[in-house]
């Protein structure tokens, strides 16, 4: 069930959850640093030998040609080209030249990049069993080897059932009041301040995630869980050197402590005989119940998947709405309408309901368009588990396969004037596999309903009660690790008068 990566590639690029961040000097220096580390040097040598043809390519064994494209220099591959410009420009240029399936070589890994709906469907859905998820070993250690992202087959299917049970629409509809309270509290704490929007959205998304994992009675443990997670996070993009004093070492210790806290919560639930419908409850109950270690790996995994993603989408939405007053106006009017209908409810019931959130078409299209334009997860990683034929080409066993979501989302074939922010384009449903902000198939995002609810609840209160301004209105982008407006989009927020 577990595999080790035969490739160091992702040591700097955190698989699914890191966009390869071109154009940033940190990206380049980090990876030069990586090259200097001895185990990498050793590996590099073997890669060089391989790249110079000293081991036969799978292509030679089979008669099929490899996809078009260039492999660049051995080992280094085309990484410098990738890093020397905006990665999206790199992908786009390649696609223009070679079509929607092309080969390249980045950070030591031969890979095939795909950017057509049909190829994405092939890799993510119809032939998903031929392509396993792939992450660097250090990331696996940090999140926990038994977490859902790294799995395939029966264990994956079982985990997915448990996660979907806690995050599916039926479970989420009970969380609306809690999510709304978290949104109100977040906004209240911003009032009158100049905030770093991204940082504040991270806090909000963290609180919502914790709310759907644990029970209110477990609040006393949650502060500790948070602290452990913050330390863990600091080590996430550090060098994976496990020596006392390093960030990586501290992170590994924090994850052990986090696992201990989770074990205490589990023990206390068992003692109290609590049967909850939250994620922890789902993991603990029934004949598919998980072990304590499996539970803590998956709780860390869900926080990891839920927080920075949702926070960066929220940050982009604020930016796009502010820059497009027409759509801001339309969203505000729609939310005012919802607010009026809330006020008509019985005393004590004046809350946002699941039904309200399903009647926000304009706001929902703004969210879709933000997901498309920003495409914060520009691509994901898979690895071919055997030689695979696709449209007459060979994808050799062991090669990485990258569905390029962002390219598909920005293709003029499916979205006219793709760089323009225009939510009204979603008045017509996009064609299958042209719009996949939450992926598709066996590993698609089980948290998408919660993510949308979170965004709607925040926008509801932000647009109806507050006014705001963005003192730094540039177009600068930073990578942290997702593409983000520069400096986390500083925002001044105050109550409407």
Ligand X SMILES: *[C@@H]1O[C@H](CO)[C@@H](O)[C@H](O)[C@H]1NC(C)=O
Assess 440 for contact with ligand X (CB under 6 A): yes
> What totals of helices (H) and strands (E) does the chain contain, helices first?
20, 12
Decide: is 380 part of the binding site for ligand HEM (CB under 6 A). Answer: yes
CB atoms within 10 A of CB 305: 22
**Which alpha helices (H) appear in 153-291, and where do they start and end?**
153-167, 169-172, 176-190, 197-213, 219-236, 247-272, 279-284
Q: Does 310 bind ligand HEM (CB under 6 A)?
A: yes
By the rule CB under 6 A, 203 interacts with ligand X: no
Query: How far is the C-alpha of 139 from the C-alpha of 141, rounded, in Å?
Result: 5
The answer to the question of residue 126 lying near ligand HEM (CB under 6 A) is no
User: Does position 451 bind ligand X by CB under 6 A?
Assistant: no
CB of 123 to ligand X, least distance (A): 11
- Report the distance separating Cα 339 and Cα 356, nearest Å: 9
Closest to ligand HEM by CB, 44 vs 109, is 109
Tell me the C-alpha distance between 117 and 132, whole Å: 19
Q: How far is the CB of 433 from ligand X (least distance, A)?
A: 4
Determine the 3-state secondary structure of 194 from DSSP.
strand
Q: For residue 444, state whether it binds ligand HEM (rule: CB under 6 A).
A: yes
305 forms part of the interface with ligand HEM (CB under 6 A):
yes
Which residues, other chains included, contact 25 with Cβ-Cβ below 8 Å and sequence gap of 6+?
A: none
Q: What are phi and psi of 468, to 5 degrees?
A: -155, 165
How far apart CA 12 and CA 81 sit, in angstroms, is 16
Give pairs for 209-212: CB < 8 Å, separation 24+.
209/302, 209/303, 209/306, 209/307, 210/303, 211/175, 211/178, 211/179, 211/182, 212/166, 212/167, 212/171, 212/172, 212/175, 212/178, 212/278, 212/279, 212/450
- Helix (H), strand (E) at residue 374: helix 361-374
CB half-sphere exposure, 489, CA atoms < 13 A: 30
**Contact between 139 and ligand HEM (CB under 6 A)?**
no
Give the separation between CA 121 and CA 128, rounded to whole angstroms. 9
Q: Give the nearest residue (CB) to ligand HEM.
A: 447
Residue 473, interface with ligand X (CB under 6 A)?
no
Shortest spacing between CB 125 and ligand X, in angstroms: 5
Q: Does 433 bind ligand X (CB under 6 A)?
A: yes
Q: Is 119 in the site for ligand X (CB under 6 A)?
A: no
Total residues at interface with ligand X (CB under 6 A): 7
Of ligand HEM, ligand X, none, which one does residue 331 interact with (CB within 5 to 8 Å by kind)? none
The verdict on whether residue 445 carries a ligand-binding annotation is yes
Q: CA of 264: how far to CAs of 163, 269, 429, in Å?
A: 21, 9, 47
**Residue 160 binding ligand HEM, by CB under 6 A:** yes
Among positions 200-239, residues that touch ligand HEM (CB under 6 A) are 209
Q: Work out how close the CB of 89 gets to ligand HEM at its nearest, in angstroms, rounded to a whole number.
A: 22
As a whole number of angstroms, the distance between CA 76 and CA 108 comes to: 6
Between residues 170 and 472, which has the closer beta carbon with respect to ligand HEM? 170
108 binds, among ligand HEM, ligand X, none (CB under 5 to 8 A by kind): none
22 binds ligand HEM (CB under 6 A): no
Shortest Å distance, C-beta 204 to ligand HEM: 12
Q: Does 117 bind ligand HEM (CB under 6 A)?
A: no
> Which residue sits closest to ligand X, CB atoms considered?
432
CA 16 from centroid of its chain's CA atoms: 6
> In angstroms, what is the minimal distance from the CB of 134 to ligand HEM?
9
Q: Determine if residue 354 is left, alpha or beta; phi over 0 gives left, psi from -120 to 50 gives alpha, anything else beta.
A: alpha
Contact 14, 5 (CB under 8 A): no
Site residues (CB under 6 A) for ligand X, limited to 321-380 = none
Q: Tell me the closest approach of the beta carbon of residue 435 to ligand X, in angstroms.
A: 6
Piece of the chain touching ligand HEM by CB under 6 A; list 47-55, 191-199, 394-402, 432-440: 432-440
Full 3-state SS string of 341-352: HHHCCCCCCCCC
Q: Which is nearer to ligand HEM, 12 or 16 (CB)?
A: 16
In the complex, least distance from residue 41 CB atom to ligand X, rounded to whole angstroms: 42
> What is the dihedral sign for C-alpha 207, 460, 358, 451?
negative
Closest to ligand HEM by CB, 213 or 338: 213
Q: How far is the CB of 443 from ligand HEM (least distance, A)?
A: 4
Residue 188: count other Cβ atoms within 10 Å of its Cβ.
Answer: 12
Q: Contacts with ligand HEM in 452-481 (CB under 6 A)?
A: none
The neighbour count for residue 118, using CB atoms within 10 Å, is: 15
Interface with ligand X, residue 413, by CB under 6 A: no
Smallest gap from Cβ 242 to ligand HEM, in A, equals 26
CB atoms closer than 10 angstroms to residue 121: 18
Establish if 136 lies at the interface with ligand HEM (CB under 6 A): no
Which residues are near ligand X by CB under 6 A? 121, 125, 432-433, 435-436, 440
Can you say which residues are annotated as belonging to the binding site for heme? 445
Which residues are near ligand HEM by CB under 6 A? 16, 133, 148-149, 160, 163, 167, 209, 302, 305-306, 309-310, 313, 376-377, 380, 437-439, 443-447, 450-451
């Amino acid at each position: 069930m577990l595999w080790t990566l035969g490739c160091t590639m992702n040591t700097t690029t955190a698989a699914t959850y890191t966009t390869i961040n071109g154009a940033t000097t940190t990206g380049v220096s980090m990876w030069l640093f990586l090259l200097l580390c001895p185990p990498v040097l050793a590996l590099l040598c073997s890669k060089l030998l391989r790249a110079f043809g000293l081991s036969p390519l799978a292509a030679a064994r089979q008669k099929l040609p490899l996809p078009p494209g260039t492999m660049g220099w051995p080992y280094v591959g085309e990484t410098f080209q990738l890093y020397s410009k905006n990665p999206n420009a790199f992908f786009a240029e390649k696609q223009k030249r070679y079509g929607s399936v092309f080969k390249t070589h980045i950070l030591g890994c031969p890979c095939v990049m795909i950017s057509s709906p049909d190829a994405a469907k092939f890799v993510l859905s119809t032939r998903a069993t031929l392509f396993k998820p792939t992450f660097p070993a250090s990331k696996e250690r940090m999140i926990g080897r038994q977490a859902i992202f790294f799995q395939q087959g029966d264990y994956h299917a079982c985990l997915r059932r448990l996660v979907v049970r806690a995050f599916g629409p039926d479970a989420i509809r009970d969380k609306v009041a809690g999510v709304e309270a978290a949104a109100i509290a977040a906004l209240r704490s911003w009032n009158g301040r100049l905030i770093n929007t991204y940082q504040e959205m991270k806090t909000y998304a963290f609180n919502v995630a914790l709310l759907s994992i644990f029970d209110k009675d477990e609040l006393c443990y949650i502060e500790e869980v948070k602290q452990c997670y913050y330390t863990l996070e600091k080590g996430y993009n550090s060098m994976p050197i496990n020596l006392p004093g390093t960030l990586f070492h501290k992170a590994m210790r924090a994850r052990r402590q986090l696992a201990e806290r989770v074990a205490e919560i589990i023990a206390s639930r068992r003692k109290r005989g609590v049967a909850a419908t939250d994620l922890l409850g789902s993991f603990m109950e029934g004949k598919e119940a998980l072990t304590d270690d499996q539970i803590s790996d998956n709780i860390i995994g869900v926080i990891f998947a839920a927080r920075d993603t949702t926070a960066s989408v929220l940050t982009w939405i604020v930016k796009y709405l502010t820059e497009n007053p027409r759509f801001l106006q339309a969203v505000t009017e729609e939310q005012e309408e919802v607010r009026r209908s809330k006020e008509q409810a019985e005393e004590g019931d004046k809350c946002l309901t699941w039904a309200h959130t399903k009647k926000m078409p304009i706001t929902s299209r703004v969210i879709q368009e933000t997901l498309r334009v920003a495409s914060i997860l520009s691509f994901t990683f898979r690895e071919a588990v055997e030689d695979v034929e696709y449209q007459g080409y060979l994808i050799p066993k062991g090669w990485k396969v990258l569905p390029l979501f962002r390219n598909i989302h920005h293709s003029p074939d499916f979205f006219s004037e793709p760089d323009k922010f225009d939510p009204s384009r979603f008045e017509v449903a996009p064609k299958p596999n042209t719009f996949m902000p939450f992926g598709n198939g066996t590993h698609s995002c089980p948290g998408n309903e919660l993510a949308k609810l979170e965004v709607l609840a925040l926008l509801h209160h932000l647009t109806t009660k507050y006014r705001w301004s963005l003192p730094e209105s540039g177009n600068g982008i930073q990578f942290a690790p997702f593409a983000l407006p520069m400096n986390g989009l500083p925002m001044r927020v105050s109550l409407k008068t």
